[in-house]
Structures are given as C-alpha cells and as structure tokens.
Structure 1
Amino acid sequence: MQRTFVIFKPDCMEQRHVGNVLNRFEQAGFTIVGCKMGKLSPEKLREHYAHVASKPFYPEIEAFMSSRPVIMMALQGENIVQKVRDLLGPTDSRKAAKGTIRGDFGTEMMKNVVHASDSDENAKLELARFFKAEELFNV
C-alpha cells in the first residue's frame, strides 16, 4: 500500500467542495490515514513550493495558499499517487475534462481545488513536512 498527500486548497474550502471531493476519494477506495486543518505559514509554504519560490509569480501562490485554513490529508491505497492524479485531472483546471475533480470544481491553474503529491518520493517528503509520525495511522 502506498500513501500520498493532498491539500484541500482555499478555493475548495471557500466553495464548500470538500465533501464532494472527499466522497470521490472514498468512492475510489482510498483510505484516510491522516487528516487535519490548519493555516499554512509563509515558512511552510516556501518550503513546500521551493521549486518555484524564486519565480515572479510565487507571491501570488503564497497569498492564495495562506488566505484561509486548508485541510491536509494523508490517503492510502494501491498505486495511489497516480490514481489521485488521474482523479484530479491536469493542474490547469481549464484543461481538465468534466468528470475529473479539477474539471468539475476548478476554475484556473492556481484555483484547482486540490494539491496532490506528484511522485512516491514527493509524497513521502510532503507527508513528513505536514504530519508528525504519530498523526498518521495504520488502518
């Protein structure tokens, strides 16, 4: 079994899509093994988005991601990283097909409902970044 990390982003929270998105994850057979809500600090966001933190558009990402509390979740399942990515659709919601989470609920590149780890390696790093070991459960 693999694990992955997801963030229900500020647009998901504001538009009240959390229940719909979570239902899709559960219907896909994924198991929740960690869940918490919090506001992301500038320091945590810079660490998480280090690969784009030097880009001119980064301040917009930080402002958006810190605009309201988010839900952070650890999910478990077979081949889960790829399955979650497939369920979400492309990062740019405008290019996502209807029936995908981003195609149904997203509005643009940044306002794309959910962040999800893009590889097994990043899933492990992101889970460790946002969860203490005792906050993740074997169920």
Structure 2
Amino acid sequence: MTADDIARVVTIERASFSTPWPAEIFEGLLTRDGAELLVLDLPEAPVVGYAILWCILDQGELANIAVAEEWRGHALGSFLLQGVLDHAAERGVERLFLEVRESNVVARELYRTRGFVEVGRRADYYRSPREDARVLLKTLRSGGAEPPKDAER
C-alpha cells in the first residue's frame, strides 16, 4: 500500500465495516515498524482489496482484511489471505491471530479452510451492532509456508 492507495482503501473500509478506520489510521500505519499493508490490484481495477498485518517478533495479527463489494465472490479474499500468510511466514511469524465477528459466517469459513482455530472470545468487542468477537489462531511453520499434506516427512 502507498499513500496513493489510501482513498480507495478507505472507500472499501467504509463499505465493509460498521466502525471504519479513518484515512489517518492508514496514513500512520504506512511508516509504522512491524506493519505490513497489502493491496490487491487487478489489471482491470486497481485496489480491489487490502489487508493489514502487524508483526511483533514471532507473533502476528491480521488487523483488517476486505475486498471491495463489487469484487466479492471471486475468491479474491482467499487470494489476499494467502498473501497475508505468505508475508507473515516471511517475517518469521509463527502464530497469527485475528478477531472476527461471530455473525460473519463467510469470513469464519474462509479462516477455517485456511487452518485457523478458535482460541477465545471477546465479549461485546464490536460496536454497531454490539457483538462478540471470536479470536482465531493459525500456527505457521517458522521459515516458510507449510508443506503440502502429502509431502514426505
């Protein structure tokens, strides 16, 4: 993500979340140590999605991930999430956390298919509407992506 991407990212943010982050948050994150700000560009459409990853030593947090409404349903969220997982592994992250609304069944299923497991709940974490968050965790292999399931050990 660059400063030029922020206006489009904020548009996606506002359409995706009930309490969206303002542009100033994204601007501040551009220079924050440990922050990885990713955008997904397509040849026919720049910035159709974005993700925010925080990395501190061997732990990471997927703070935000969203795809523009008009581009949902094309597996772009899955593609973007894989990019986050790859970046996290490259940064040496071994445990990646995230929070997700309890009612966000689509996101929860995506995370489940990528190996995230529920490790906790945060009561009344979200506002507008008030809702619990499920805390999810994915354990990554240090030094790279996980081997294929059929790989020899």
**TM-score normalised according to structure 2 size:** 0.26
**TM-score normalised according to structure 1 size:** 0.27
Name the structure, 1 or 2, with higher relative contact order (CA <8 Å, separation 6+).
1
The structure with more radius of gyration: 2
